[in-house]
Chain A
Amino acid sequence: MRLLLVEDHVPLADELIAGLGRQGYAVDWLADGRDAVHQGATEPYDLIILDLGLPGVPGLQVLEQWRSSGLATPVLVLTARGSWSERIEGLKAGADDYLTKPFHPEELQLRIQALLRRSHGLANQPRLESAGLHLDEGRQCVTREGVDIQLTSAEFRLLRYFMHHPEQILSKSHLAEHLYDGENERDSNVIEVHVNHLRRKLGKAVVETRRGQGYRFGGTPA
């Protein structure tokens, strides 16, 4: 899962990037509203965390510009201004959720998880479930038929992305774009390695290879 964090307060951004990184998210960070307007619309993010008090272009305008240009990525708004009238304005501008500063990191993580699930049509599930697997995003492990299976961080990221997109064909480059942030090298061979690890831990049928197309998770075994 690749997120865009738009936050001008550097210490807070550092904390958030560190925390989100521990949760297995690839995070790109921007501090200026003008950059955000451009980059948010061009890069394939799964979710955007947007602070409203931004230099350059105010956060609400950034959001309005994204929405008017047809960007459908879920946006979680962070703001110190927590009054209801501002909350309503934010959601009218196209925000999907609203978090008032200061917040607990867990609160932010839960909101991000819920928002991602909701945007993929998996609303109202306390845990991520797909193809007989239960993913515990807090502990970063997967449960199948009551048996816990430990995952490495990279495996967890990959499986989480698969579970958000069940029965969809995902190419290696698509996966690389969504699992790594803009600064890390995207080596599609690494993806292949992690898919093999997942197959070893969860069974061969869990991820199907479509030659020349990519991978497909949770399909009926051939």
Chain B
Amino acid sequence: MKSIQARLSVGLVSVMVVVCVVLAQISLWLFELGLQRYLEAGLRNESESLLIALVKGPNGLQLDEHRLTPAYQRPFSGHYFRIDFEQGHWRSRSLWDLKLPEPGAAGLHANFQLGKTEQSLLLLQTDYRRFGQDISITVAQDYTPVRASFLRVQQVGLALGLAALALILALQRITVSRALRPLEKAREQISQLQQGKRSQLDEQVPLELEPLVSQINHLLIHTEDSLKRSRNALGNLGHALKTPLAVLVSATSSPQLDAQPVLRKTLLDQLEHIQQRLVRELNRARLSGDALPGAHFDCDAELEGLLATLRMIHGEHLELAVRVTPGLLLPWDREDVLELLGNLLDNACKWADSEVTLTIGEQNNGVYLLIDDDGPGIPETQRDEVLSRGARLDEQVNGHGLGLGIVRDIVHAWGGQLHLLTSPLGGLQIRIDLPDGSSVN
């Protein structure tokens, strides 16, 4: 989609150009017409004074030279005449050796070229009858200076028009960007929302945006609520199913079953199966993915508790080290991140001899997690197998596989990648590359 700014600019420019050009042309045309009318009156005057200058002499008609304007005497002065009558014609001296164009009909005519000169003529041909003779008088005036000034006016007008257009565009840009600033702010807040840096949009917005913003906020609250509700419901379901399951598992070790080792084993196997499937499915269903835009995981605040828990579970002999950029926020739900890190670190602690390291860092378009241990590691040839173990829910998985299965589900839900590598500490390195929340569709 094009930006609103660009659309407004294009629309405004095209309207402005069309309107200005049409207006300018029409007004120029009207002005020229008016000017020609004015000049016509002058020419008619000239024509009539020429008529008056015609006198009846002894040899028929004569032109009284004294009554003529001096401009008719100077060559190419810009004022010309030609008088046609029955016996012949007279031309003004100013025409020199050139012929005045003949318009052919009476009236005002423009745009006649005078011979090879640059002069463009405005001609007025008038027919009279005097002394019983038909007399046609054509007076002409050089129109070129007027033309030239019109051209200059046009050029100046064009330049002014362009400058005005540029100014208007600049002003419009400022106005629009001012008017759209709330939109820009809302856009920024939405991107913050996606990065988990805020949980609600600011309600202080212009009237036009208010319904949109309040609707988004409403949706956010609604999503959060329903997610919480469904998580609670799942938790309750888990509780409801797991306690009876615990009774059954516990019952298998009762002395009454001592005589039935096969039955006991079958029961235990199947109960184990149910339990693992239950745990995995509950986790999978619980995974919120990126459904909660306001959710985020504050590494500084949360990792301490997680490490304390792991130390408590695995004893103090393990060296648990964390390398995390201070103040790093991960744009995912706190519980999901804890589930991911908890399972991975728990696994690493189980296998490590003395050292486990967690590294979280930012890379160009996301976050990477490294979990290193100094345990036995996994040979390169078996890594694919370990990764695919627990991929299918109905597969028999042991503790290792189940945790990794949940991790795989989480990483998959976030659109990330999971790799098993060799750690510099000597054991296994699990590398997880996660794309930034904002780049996930």
Q: Provide a sorted-by-A list of 7 A–B residue pairs whose CB atoms are within 8 angstroms.
A: A82-B279, A83-B283, A84-B342, A87-B309, A96-B312, A102-B243, A102-B249
Hey, which chain A residues are within 8 Å of B245, CB to CB? 101-102
Report the Cα distance A105→B255, complex, angstroms: 13
Hey, which chain B residues are within 8 Å of A104, CB to CB? 249, 253
Contact between B335 and A85 (Cβ–Cβ < 8 Å)? yes
Contact between A105 and B253 (Cβ–Cβ < 8 Å)? yes
Interchain CB contact (< 8 A) of B247 among A12, A88, A97, A124: A12
- From residue A12, how far is it (CB to closest CB) to chain B in Å? 5
Main secondary structure of the interface of B (DSSP, over half): helix
Contact between A105 and B309 (Cβ–Cβ < 8 Å)? no
Contact between B251 and A15 (Cβ–Cβ < 8 Å)? yes
- Interface range for A: 20 to 34
- A146 close to chain B: CB less than 8 A: no
Hey, which chain B residues are within 8 Å of A80, CB to CB? 235, 238-243, 246
CB nearest neighbor in A for B316: A123
- B360 close to chain A: CB less than 8 A: no
CB nearest neighbor in A for B339: A84
Q: A19-B253, A105-B253, A106-B253 are contacts. A87–B246 as well, Cβ < 8 Å?
A: no
Hey, which chain B residues are within 8 Å of A123, CB to CB? 315
- From residue A62, how far is it (CB to closest CB) to chain B in Å? 17
> Known pairs A12-B243, A91-B309, A101-B243. 12 more at Cβ < 8 A?
A53-B243, A80-B246, A82-B238, A82-B279, A83-B338, A84-B309, A84-B341, A98-B313, A101-B242, A102-B242, A105-B250, A105-B253
Report the Cα distance A80→B239, complex, angstroms: 5
Hey, which chain B residues are within 8 Å of A102, CB to CB? 242-243, 245-246, 248-250, 271, 275
- A81 close to chain B: CB less than 8 A: yes
CB nearest neighbor in A for B307: A88
- A92 close to chain B: CB less than 8 A: yes
Contact between B313 and A18 (Cβ–Cβ < 8 Å)? no
Interface residues of B in 318-363 (CB under 8 A from A): 334-335, 338-339, 341-343
Interface residues of A in 25-54 (CB under 8 A from B): 53
Contact between B250 and A16 (Cβ–Cβ < 8 Å)? yes
Contact between A103 and B249 (Cβ–Cβ < 8 Å)? yes
CB nearest neighbor in B for A7: B243
- B305 close to chain A: CB less than 8 A: yes
Contact between B343 and A81 (Cβ–Cβ < 8 Å)? no
Hey, which chain A residues are within 8 Å of B271, CB to CB? 102
Report the Cα distance A142→B338, complex, angstroms: 43
Interchain CB contact (< 8 A) of A97 among B248, B305, B313: B313
Which residues of chain A have a CB within 8 Å of any CB of chain B?
A: 9, 11-12, 15-16, 18-19, 22, 53, 80-85, 87-88, 91-92, 96-98, 100-106, 123-124
- Interface range for B: 35 or more
Contact between A81 and B235 (Cβ–Cβ < 8 Å)? yes
Interchain CB contact (< 8 A) of B305 among A92, A103, A106: A92
- B308 close to chain A: CB less than 8 A: yes
Contact between A81 and B238 (Cβ–Cβ < 8 Å)? yes
Interchain CB contact (< 8 A) of B317 among A9, A101, A106, A124: A124
Report the Cα distance A123→B339, complex, angstroms: 28
Contact between A18 and B254 (Cβ–Cβ < 8 Å)? yes
Hey, which chain B residues are within 8 Å of A88, CB to CB? 305-306, 308-309, 338, 342
Hey, which chain B residues are within 8 Å of A98, CB to CB? 309, 313
- From residue B204, how far is it (CB to closest CB) to chain A in Å? 34
- B244 close to chain A: CB less than 8 A: yes
Report the Cα distance A23→B150, complex, angstroms: 116
Report the Cα distance A10→B48, complex, angstroms: 131
Contact between A124 and B315 (Cβ–Cβ < 8 Å)? yes
Report the Cα distance A19→B245, complex, angstroms: 16
Interchain CB contact (< 8 A) of A9 among B243, B305, B309, B315: B243
- From residue A153, how far is it (CB to closest CB) to chain B in Å? 14
Contact between A81 and B247 (Cβ–Cβ < 8 Å)? no
Contact between A15 and B338 (Cβ–Cβ < 8 Å)? no
- From residue A137, how far is it (CB to closest CB) to chain B in Å? 15
Contact between B238 and A11 (Cβ–Cβ < 8 Å)? no
Instruction: List the 10 shortest-distance A-B pairs measured between CB atoms, nearest first.
Output: A84-B342, A15-B250, A102-B246, A80-B242, A80-B239, A102-B245, A101-B242, A101-B246, A84-B338, A85-B335
Hey, which chain A residues are within 8 Å of B248, CB to CB? 102
